[in-house]
């Protein structure tokens, strides 16, 4: 039993280690990061944390888990992939699932980790490299002409096409158009609710059928368990009785019978719960007495 418990605990520990290592690995996977939107000429657009109008680069986490961009590199020169190293150990470099992070290309890295050591004046390419400084994660070729306060980005988060956007959306989704909800789309497909009714009935009856099967099997299980308990109890009682019968000899049974007889005949001491067995004074059996023998031959 102790060995089984040890094996069980060891299995849980190994499973936890595997899950933890998987989470760490997925959290550090920078391949899901994308350059999502860029503003080169910022005249009257968004201001940074110092109130300055500077160029900015938006990074999008396309994964469904948190990705830490710390340790990666941003550059405007492919020949120098490690131009700006994003510091590690800062919780602000973690990008939650399907969220965004903005870096300011103002050539003032002393203002914080989100301020790059280069600007976008005359830049032709923006690239994001992994922590090894060699693996290219994403790259964008900037257009030759840039309009003031007009951003260049993906029309949707999963799009591979780059266009001039009508609205700048730093730290937000580029696709701001109204989307149909799931209910509205379903109403268009099933305007009279026939499909919804069928689905609801199917779900209800399926749930009832599943509950029926579960409770029926549970009932059978407990019935079998109870029957097994009764049988085991009967076997134990039979074994005990058999052992008692085998252990009690004939002399013991005779003594018990005689004691019960004498108790019923009131041959006891003053205490009614004490039995008395009197020893016979004669050492011979009366059946061997000569007075009971035949004196004459019977005719």
Q: Which residue has the tokens 């020893």?
A: 279
What tokens were used for 69?
């961009």
**Residue 195 in this model has a pLDDT that exceeds 90:** no
The string of pLDDT tens digits covering residues 200-235 is 899 999 999 999 999 999 988 888 888 888 777 777
Q: Which of 101-115, 123-137, 220-234 has the lowest mean pLDDT?
A: 220-234
Task: Compute the residue count for the chain.
Answer: 299
Backbone phi, psi, residue 147, to 5°: -90, 145
Would residue 82 count as lying in a domain? yes
The reported pLDDT for the residue numbered 235 is: 78
The string of pLDDT tens digits covering residues 4-20 is 566 556 667 666 666 55
DSSP-derived secondary structure letter, 291: G
Would residue 91 count as lying in a domain? yes
Provide the number of structural domains found in the chain. 1
Mean pLDDT, range 114-121, rounded to an integer: 96
Name the residue range of residue 126's domain.
Answer: 24-176
Concatenating the DSSP letter of every residue in 240-268 gives HHHHHHHHS-HHHHHHHHHHHHHHHTT-B
CA dist., res. 117 & res. 82, Å (int)? 11
Judge whether 106 and 115 are in contact, CB under 8 Å.
yes
Half-sphere exposure in the Cβ direction for 55 (13 Å, CA): 24
Judge whether 46 and 170 are in contact, CB under 8 Å.
yes
173 in the Ramachandran plot: left (φ > 0), alpha (ψ -120 to 50) or beta?
Answer: beta
Would residue 33 count as lying in a domain? yes
What tokens were used for 130?
């992994």
Would residue 119 count as lying in a domain? yes
Judge whether 57 and 126 are in contact, CB under 8 Å.
yes
Would residue 54 count as lying in a domain? yes
CA dist., res. 124 & res. 104, Å (int)? 17
Would residue 138 count as lying in a domain? yes
Backbone phi, psi, residue 281, to 5°: -75, -30
The reported pLDDT for the residue numbered 233 is: 76
> Mean of the per-residue pLDDT values for the chain?
83
CA dist., res. 105 & res. 230, Å (int)? 81
Q: How many CB atoms lie within 10 A of CB 30?
A: 23
Would residue 72 count as lying in a domain? yes
81 contacts: CB under 8 Å, gap ≥ 6: 73, 75, 127, 129, 133, 134, 136
Backbone phi, psi, residue 87, to 5°: -60, 150
Would residue 158 count as lying in a domain? yes
Q: Which residue has the tokens 């060699």?
A: 134
Give the H or E element holding residue 38. Answer: strand 33-39
**Residue 147 in this model has a pLDDT that exceeds 70:** yes
């Amino acid at each position: 039993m102790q060995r089984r418990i040890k094996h069980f605990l060891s299995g849980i520990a190994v499973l936890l280690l595997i899950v933890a290592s998987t989470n760490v690995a997925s959290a550090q996977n920078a391949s899901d990061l994308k350059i999502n939107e860029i503003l080169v000429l910022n005249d009257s657009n968004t201001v940074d944390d110092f109130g300055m109008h500077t160029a900015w680069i938006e990074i999008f986490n396309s994964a469904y888990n948190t990705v830490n961009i710390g340790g990666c590199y941003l550059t405007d020169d492919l020949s120098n992939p490690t131009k700006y190293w994003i510091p590690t150990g800062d919780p602000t470099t973690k990008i939650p699932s399907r969220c965004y992070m903005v870096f300011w290309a103002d050539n003032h890295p002393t203002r914080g980790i989100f301020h790059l050591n280069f600007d976008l004046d005359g830049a032709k390419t923006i690239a994001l490299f992994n922590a090894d400084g060699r693996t290219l994660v994403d790259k964008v070729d900037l257009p030759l002409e840039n309009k003031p306060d007009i951003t260049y980005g993906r029309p949707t988060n999963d799009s591979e096409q780059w266009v001039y956007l009508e609205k700048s959306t730093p730290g937000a989704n580029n696709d701001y158009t109204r989307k149909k909800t799931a209910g509205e789309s379903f109403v268009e497909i099933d305007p009279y609710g026939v499909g919804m009714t069928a689905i609801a009935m199917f779900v209800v009856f399926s749930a009832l059928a599943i509950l029926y099967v579960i409770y029926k099997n549970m009932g059978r299980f407990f019935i079998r368990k109870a029957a097994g308990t009764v049988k085991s109890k009967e076997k134990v009682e039979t074994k005990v009785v058999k052992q008692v019968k085998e252990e009690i000899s004939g002399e013991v049974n005779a003594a018990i019978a005689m004691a019960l007889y004498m108790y019923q005949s009131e041959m006891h001491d003053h205490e009614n719960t004490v039995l008395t067995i009197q020893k016979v004074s004669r050492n011979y059996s009366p059946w061997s007495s000569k007075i009971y023998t035949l004196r004459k031959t019977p005719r």
